[in-house]
Amino acid sequence: MPELPQLVDFPTASDALTAAVPRQLVHRAAFAETLLTGWRRIGTDQFRVAAQWPRAHPLHVSSDRTAYEPLLVTETVRQGGTLLAHTEYDVPLDHRFVLQELRVSTRPEHLAVGPAPAEPVVDITIFDVRRRAGRVVAFHLTATVTIENTQVASAFFAASWTSEPVYRRLRGGRTAANVQALDPPPGVPPALVERTVPADVVLARPDRPGRWQLRVDTAHPVFFDHPLDHVPGMLLLEAAGQAARVTGGGRRAPISFHATFDRYAELDQPTWIEAEPGPDDQLQVIGVQGDSAVFACRVGTVAQ
């Protein structure tokens, strides 16, 4: 395990902000994609995590650089849970993170980008910890995210941890080195999904109303920050968010996600994103490979 930075007792994020935590602890390869800056235990299975959010980002900040997007909250909480798993619950660094379910709800009126990078504080409670042979293999967490003492988001994650040998057996020998992703088909216009460059568009042109092929670009520096043998969950969530924007005719933006992940989405098979409007300004999205769903996501939206 890499040497950890000296931690301090901080009431706000800014008091702890000295440097990012070691990127290996949050399963990122790029320093620029490492959002966390410190943490401390505040109670039994309760922790306070500090982060810094950039003022510009190709995916997690609006194209006009005025607002932070819900998936930045999602990635921050994911990194927080991963960090705590390794540092507080002794999950080995080579174990694989497996996400089963997440719920993230944001308050967009409090997610404006300011004149300096935001410094959110994430209060995390870990519960339903499961152990096998004395080692933690799964837990649930809840999180509240605040900026300058204002709650901007809440979240729930259910995740498990798998050793490398078990993961390899589950994947049947599929690795990032021996699985070739399909070439991405042409995408929808970037402006339709609030993106500025075509490479950040993850939905292909629809083959029928409400259905798009997922565009998987394994060279994308955010979704594929490091080599993977499957489609990452954050890419599937981005597809759900972009589907909400398309379905809303560019007049609605995602503010919440409730997603369940059923199985790995394979790189060498087409993934179809299907969306149907639901009640209360929600959109029901599923990702399908062959005859099976790989994930389902209910996206809450707001007029923009």
pLDDT confidence of residue 124: 98
Task: Give the distance from CA 175 to its chain's centroid.
Answer: 22
- Per the CB < 8 A criterion, the answer to whether 145 and 73 are in contact is yes
In the predicted structure, residue 12 carries a pLDDT above the cut 70? no
DSSP letter for 180, please: P
- Listed in order, strand segments (DSSP E) in 133-269 are 135-147, 150-162, 211-213, 252-261
In the predicted structure, residue 9 carries a pLDDT above the cut 90? no
pLDDT digits (tens, 9 = 90+) for 244-264: 999 988 889 999 999 999 999
Can you tell me the mean pLDDT for 48-59? 94
User: Which residues are CB-neighbours of 150 under 8 A, at least 6 positions away?
Assistant: 110
Task: Give the distance from CA 300 to its chain's centroid.
Answer: 16
Measure the CA–CA gap between 282 and 275, rounded to whole angstroms.
10
Ranking 47-56, 58-67, 210-219 by mean pLDDT, the lowest is 58-67
**pLDDT confidence bin for 18, thresholds 50/70/90:** low
Can you tell me the mean pLDDT for 277-300? 95
pLDDT digits (tens, 9 = 90+) for 96-132: 999 999 999 999 999 999 999 999 999 999 999 999 9
Angle CA 12–234–270, to nearest 5: 175
pLDDT confidence of residue 2: 38
pLDDT confidence of residue 250: 83
- Single-letter code of the amino acid located at 197: V
pLDDT confidence of residue 8: 39
In the predicted structure, residue 1 carries a pLDDT above the cut 50? no
pLDDT digits (tens, 9 = 90+) for 166-213: 999 999 999 999 999 999 999 999 999 999 999 999 999 999 999 999
Q: Is the pTM of this model over 0.95?
A: no
DSSP letter for 6, please: P
